[in-house]
Every structure is written in C-alpha cells, then in structure tokens.
Amino acid sequence: MASIAHELAKKQKEISISEFFEKNKHILGFDSLTRALITAVKESVDNSLDACEDAGVLPEIFVQVDRVDNNEYRIVVEDNGPGIVKKQVPNVFGRLLYGSRFHVRAQRRGQQGIGVSAVVMYAQITTGKPAKIRSRISDEDVAYECELVLDTKKNRPQMVKEDFVIWEKEHGTRLEVNLKGKYVGGKQSIYEYLKGVAIVNPHARITFIQPDGGNVVFERSTEAMPPPTREVRPHPEGVELGELLNMTKYTEAKKMTSFLNTEFSRISLRVAREILDAAEISHNQRPSRLNLDQAGDIIDAVKKVKIMAPETDCLSPIGEGLIRKSLKNVLGETRASFYAPPVTREPKVFGGNPFIVEIGIVYGGQLSKENPVQIYRFANRVPLMYQQGACATTQGIENVDWRRYGLEQRGGKGIPFGPAIILVHVASTKIPFTSESKEAVANVPEIREEIELALKACARRLKTHLNKAEQKSKARVKFEIVQEIIPMIAQKSAKIVGKPVPDIAGTITKIMNVVWVEDEVTHIKKKHHVSVRLYNYTPKNQKLQLHMVLPYEKVDDGSLTLKPSEVRNGTKVTWNMKKVAPTEVFELAFDMKGLDGGEYEENEVFVSGIDPASVIGADVLPGDWDLEHITITEEKSVPEEAADEGEIDYDEGAEVIEDEE
C-alpha cells in the first residue's frame, strides 16, 4: 500500500490556475462558439467601462467584430480610458487572477481579475494567435503596443513583440484578439448585450461595427458620470468565520477594540467594546491571538449589538430618473406606450455587503402581446445574458402574481405574458453569482426579497397607469355616443318625422350620469401646457375640488384659468371649482416653464367633494393627501355599468347564425 501512495505522490502536483481554466473554459463562459464571442466582447467592454469610470471619463467605447474566415473572428474593443502603464500591460492581459479589485469592497463590474486575460487565453488556444494590445496614457507621447500570449503552465505572460506607435487617441486602450466563435443575432447576441450595456450605462456612448459592416451607435442619454464609488470596509453583519480569522492575521491593529474599529465599517470604539463585552473577550487582546471559538463568539455578539446599517456610497445605482430616460433612449423603436416610473429601493445588506435593487417596466407599443415579457437582467451595470432561469432576478419575477398588475400569468406563477419589458438591476459591492461565469445572481434570501418588493412597487405604478388608460378608453366611447351619435340621431329622427330637433340634454345625462375628467399635457417650445376639462354629464349642478400634484413654482401664474385655493408643500395643489351645470364643461388650463420634457409626462388629477362612483377619468383624493404612487388605490376596479333589468342586448347576442343565404 505504501508503495502505491509513493507512486501516486509522484503524479500529484500543483495544477496551474491557467491550466485548470484551459480545461474548464465553460466556467468562464466560453462553453460554446456563440457564447465565446459574446463573453470576449463582454469581458473587454466591462474592463473598459471600469477603467473610464475610475478615471472619471465619459466612456466612449468602440466595438468591432469581423469574420476572418469560417468560424474565426477578430474582435476589437477600444476605449478612451486612462490607459495602462507599460509595465502592467502584460500582467493585466496575460495573467489570470491578477487584478486590483479582488480585495476591494466597492461596486465594480470586474472583480476577480479573470475576465480579460481569459479572453486572451481562449483566443490563443483556439487560433494560436497572440493578442494585440495598444495603450496610451495621457502623459506619454506615444502609445505602447505589444503582442502577447499566456503561458498557461506558469500563468505568466509571454511577450511576442513590442513597440511604440503613434496613436491619435490621447489616452485609452485597445485590445485586438482573433478567436474561434460564431456570430448570431437574436436575444443572446453581442448586439443585445451592448444594448443592455447602453441601458444601464446611460453615460456611455457605444459604437458597434457588425461583421456585415452595419454599424450601430448607442448615444449617451446623460453627460453626468455616475457619482464615484468609495471603497468601504466590510460591514460586520454577515462576516464569515474564516474571513474574520484571516483579517486578524493581516491587521496592523494591536488591540481587539482598534481591530474592530479600523477593519470594519460602522463600528465605533464604543460599539467595539460592546461587542467584545458581549463575546466576553478582553478589549486589549491581540487580534492575532483570536482563536476559533472566540471568533465564533464575536460573530454571535455582532448579532446582539445594535450596529448602523452599512454605508451605501460604495454603491452606484442608476437612479429612477436615469433608468427611465435611458430605457426611452435605447428602446425608442418599440414605441412603448408607457415607461413605469422606475423604483430604486433603499440599500440593504447581505453577508456584510450592501446592495440595492432597481426595477424599470416598459409597457405597450410594439412589444408583443402573446409572448412572455422580456427580462433585462443586470448586475453592477453589466447585462446578464445567460442562465436566466437560475437567476434570483428571474425567480423574483416568477414569484410575483402579475395578474394583479395587469399582465397575464398562468396560475399566478412563472414568467408573465404581455407587452412588457422588465428591467432588474442589482448593484452591490459583491454580487453573489451562481458561478464564475457571472451570469446569474444567486438566490440569496435578502436579495430575493428586495427584488420582489421592488417589482411589486413598480408593478403597482404600471397597474395605476393601466387602470387609468382603461377608464379613459371607456369614457372615450361614451363621449363618442353623447357628443356625436346622439345629436345625429336627434337630427335625423326629427327630419324624418318633420318636427324640430329635440333637446338631448336629458338623454345625455341619463346615458353618462358621470362627471368626466379629461386631462392632457403637451410639451411644446419648452413649455408644458396642462389642460383639465371637466364635463358635467349628470342631471345636477356640480361643485367640486380638483387636486393635482405638480411642481407649482414652475407654473406660469398668468396662464392659470383659475387660481388655486391651496398649495401645500409646493406640489399639492387644490382648486375649488365653480358650479358646473348639467352638460356644461369647465376647463382648467395653465403652462409650466423650465421643466424637461421627460420630467412631467403625465398629470396626476384627483377630485374630492363628489361621490367617487360618479367620476370618470380622475381618482378620488387619497385620504391622507399622500400622493405617492404606491398609495393610490390599487385594487380599485372600474365600475361596471349595471345591465338594465335583465334586458338582452340585441347586438351582443352570443350565437352566431351561420346557416343563411
């Protein structure tokens, strides 16, 4: 037996990381020809965007894919980032697990330092050709250019050729690789990936030259850089045992109190003492002496002590305003009828890592009604293209009962059907992916719960809109009847019987028997013109209050057709309407100046002082005057007109008579 063990020992040796990945390239997202191409673009673009953001430069990304021959493609990705100093170029592109971010707690696209070097490696394995890199930093006159391969046994770069070249770009990096792949269109394609990138990176401008020569430009929809994110120390909640012990080895702190205070966020000296007391550990113990049991005690103690929530300026959510603007910018061709106001939740924590969930919903237009909704998944501003089913974002969507929010869904579970796109963005200092290829967010309970809450909040906004649209279309039908058809019937019948045209006011109020509110907002010549018309189609005089939510300081006083009776908090405006007689109309109109077109798109009109059942086109004022979207009565059903005492509608007979001449 012993001899066998010795024999085996000879064969047992360290496998280099690069050798391991060469044999397991699926882990890195190179498992099929199609996917290899997308992954290569994705890793390079992620790097470019991170570089630009680190340097505070508005990203200008250029992507080109050419077909060299059969299934060999050339990919070029170029950015206007800060560039990479000559000494570091080989390490960044030719060495796996070499990175600057692995130990950093801040929201970044790349984290492990695998991505772009894996691209280089995959390229050389499949085509035998080296990667060509060019980079220029702003204080150099020329760009450095090199061709390199990766020595997979040693995990070290191997230079093939290097040179200095003239480059018109002031700074930036360009990567050119030849690799085996397959270029396709459709849902999982480079085009869709870049479209996703453009949606969650509204500050980036992306040019894409396709193999057939066609080029697409995703223009940026904002000139503002996302606020820079700060590195943060780990939050004590959710720190794991091994990690804690590790930290005690590297810390420079001499005492446990200062260790806790300096290595973690949100732990003041006072809190540190509280934790140590609870764990029954001496304040002055040397951190390196902390044993396993004690570490466990500290983790238990952390749960008992009240600690502030983690800092969140390490996160970079896209923000409600920009999500909407960016979706509109990129999805313009779908002519969607509604962009639900997006939802950016408050930051929450899992395992010591803060995270934020953001949701956007696009509805209607040319989006398909019969198909499942499209899901756009993002993690730290990176589109996720594969493993949709395994992703916590998808599972969150499947768990919501979308039937309550106006989408079809079999049995209230699963991906809903309807003309909608749902965007889910999870931002965190550490996204828990299900695997190294970073395509699916792991099902962490804290994250899943946040995703579901955010989805529901955004879906309520969609439902509010749909309810309103349905009410409006019903009202419009009635409007056509009373405004156009009844007057014509009156005229014709009078003509046939040879009598004067009758007064139809009585008939009209009987048909409608509602106050109909019709509102409109148009944005022309940098002015918003708002009009709210109130049609009294009831047999009585009506006197009621009208309420709107709008930035009142932007209202042009001179344009107001009626002065408001009250303005609360600068946004909640109330008008006391004058008496409106049956079949009469009153119009409230005004202009607003100094708002962006997108900043005010839909009026929020409420009424009070009238029976809610007799108003169409406006909601009844919520009891607390709290006009958050979320509080607007979501279960409210549109009142059905009662059928007349069992009369059968002649024109809506269900039977089809087919046997006739």
Name the strand (E) or helix (H) holding 401: none
CB of 502 to another protein, least distance (A): 4
What sign does the CA torsion over 618, 624, 628, 633 have?
Answer: negative
Q: Write the CA distances from 565 to 205, 546, 550, 595, 630, integer angstroms.
A: 47, 10, 15, 23, 26
Taking the least distance from each CB to another protein, the nearer of 437 and 509 is 509
The residues of the shown chain that bind another protein, judged by CB under 8 A, are: 477-478, 480-481, 484-486, 488-490, 492-497, 499, 502, 504-507, 510-511, 641, 644, 647-653, 655, 657-661
**Residue 148 to residue 49: CA distance in whole angstroms:** 23
CB of 617 to another protein, least distance (A): 17
Taking the least distance from each CB to another protein, the nearer of 4 and 496 is 496
**Residue 458 to residue 360: CA distance in whole angstroms:** 7
In degrees, rounded to 5, the angle at the alpha carbon of residue 65 between the alpha carbons of residues 61 and 71 is: 155
Taking the least distance from each CB to another protein, the nearer of 270 and 492 is 492
**Residue 228 to residue 531: CA distance in whole angstroms:** 42
In degrees, rounded to 5, the angle at the alpha carbon of residue 477 between the alpha carbons of residues 475 and 481 is: 115
**Residue 534 to residue 519: CA distance in whole angstroms:** 9
CB of 513 to another protein, least distance (A): 10
Taking the least distance from each CB to another protein, the nearer of 332 and 487 is 487
CB of 391 to another protein, least distance (A): 41
Name the strand (E) or helix (H) holding 79: strand 72-79
CB of 491 to another protein, least distance (A): 9
Torsion of CA 638, 639, 641, 643, to 10 degrees: 110
- Bridge partners of 606? 547, 619
CB of 582 to another protein, least distance (A): 11
Taking the least distance from each CB to another protein, the nearer of 470 and 641 is 641
Taking the least distance from each CB to another protein, the nearer of 481 and 560 is 481
What sign does the CA torsion over 100, 103, 108, 110 have?
Answer: positive
Under 8 Å CB-to-CB from 459, ≥6 apart: which residues? Answer: 340, 361, 400, 402, 404, 405
Taking the least distance from each CB to another protein, the nearer of 8 and 497 is 497
**Residue 527 to residue 521: CA distance in whole angstroms:** 10
CB of 658 to another protein, least distance (A): 7
Q: Write the CA distances from 559 to 381, 563, 592, 593, 602, integer angstroms.
A: 43, 10, 9, 11, 19
CB of 635 to another protein, least distance (A): 27
CB of 580 to another protein, least distance (A): 19
Judging by beta carbons within 10 Å of its beta carbon (0-12, 13-18, 19+), is residue 642 exposed, middle or buried? exposed
CB of 507 to another protein, least distance (A): 6
Taking the least distance from each CB to another protein, the nearer of 188 and 507 is 507
Taking the least distance from each CB to another protein, the nearer of 346 and 658 is 658
- Residue 358 CA, distance from chain mean position: 5
Q: Are strands 172-180 and 156-165 parallel, antiparallel or unpaired?
A: unpaired
CB of 540 to another protein, least distance (A): 14
CB of 528 to another protein, least distance (A): 33
Output the six-digit token pair for 91.
């390490």
Taking the least distance from each CB to another protein, the nearer of 219 and 484 is 484
**Residue 240 to residue 563: CA distance in whole angstroms:** 62
Taking the least distance from each CB to another protein, the nearer of 9 and 654 is 654
Output the six-digit token pair for 280.
């029954």
- Residue 232 CA, distance from chain mean position: 24
- Bridge partners of 428? 355
Taking the least distance from each CB to another protein, the nearer of 139 and 651 is 651
